[in-house]
């Protein structure tokens, strides 16, 4: 019986392990919510959620007013509606959604460590990496997001 319990626990923990290369990253809400729990040791209140949502709406509206040429582009739909980081976004858009990263690096050795098994596909194509909680790593070529990896367990 103990062996079955150990095998079940091992199987469950491996289900929670994430190792992915993707074109879509975290949402603004996921990242904000997680940061609130870490900072305050509790879930955000209704009023805090509403206030954050209003502030984000205002940031996005200002950005759209400042960039009318991009307002109707297909890529902006993720910014306006899903509020999810996707490949092709600018650093400015990502900062609007996720706030500042935990770390930034332009060192190729550091980026190789972050990318792990995906480094051969990224090498030579990325100039900078931003590290976010929950194992999210965002890779840039100049001002544009070109790749995303996530490692967590």
pTM: 0.85
Of the two residues 64 and 104, the one the predictor is more confident about is 104
Listing from the earlier edge strand, what are the strands of the sheet with 136-141? 18-22, 144-152, 136-141, 128-132, 103-105
pLDDT at 100: 95
- 């996707």: which residue's tokens? 86
pLDDT in tens, 107-149: 999 999 999 999 999 999 999 999 999 999 999 999 999 999 9
pLDDT at 7: 41
pLDDT in tens, 66-82: 988 877 776 788 888 89
Tell me which H or E stretch contains 129: strand 128-132
pLDDT at 12 over 70: no
Phi, psi of 99 (to 5 degrees): 65, -165
Q: Are 63 and 96 in contact (CB under 8 A)?
A: yes
Integer-rounded Cα radius of gyration of the chain? 18
- Domain segments of the chain: what residues? 19-152
Q: Distance (Å, rounded) from C-alpha 137 to C-alpha 104?
A: 10
pLDDT at 10: 40
Joined tokens for residue 102 = 């935990």
């Amino acid at each position: 019986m103990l062996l079955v319990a150990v095998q079940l626990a091992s199987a469950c923990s491996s289900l929670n392990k994430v190792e992915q290369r993707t074109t879509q990253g975290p949402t603004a809400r996921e990242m904000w919510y997680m940061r609130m729990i870490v900072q305050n040791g509790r879930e955000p209140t209704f009023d805090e959620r509403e206030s954050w949502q209003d502030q984000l709406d205002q940031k996005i509206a200002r950005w759209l007013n400042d960039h009318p040429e991009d307002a109707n582009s297909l890529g902006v739909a993720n910014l306006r509606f899903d509020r999810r980081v996707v490949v092709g976004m600018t650093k400015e858009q990502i900062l609007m959604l996720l706030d500042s990263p935990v770390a930034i690096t332009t060192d190729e050795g550091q980026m190789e460590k972050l990318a792990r098994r995906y480094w051969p596909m990224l090498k030579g194509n990325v100039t900078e990496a931003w590290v976010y909680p929950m194992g999210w790593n965002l890779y840039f070529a100049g001002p544009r997001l070109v790749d995303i990896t996530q490692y967590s367990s």
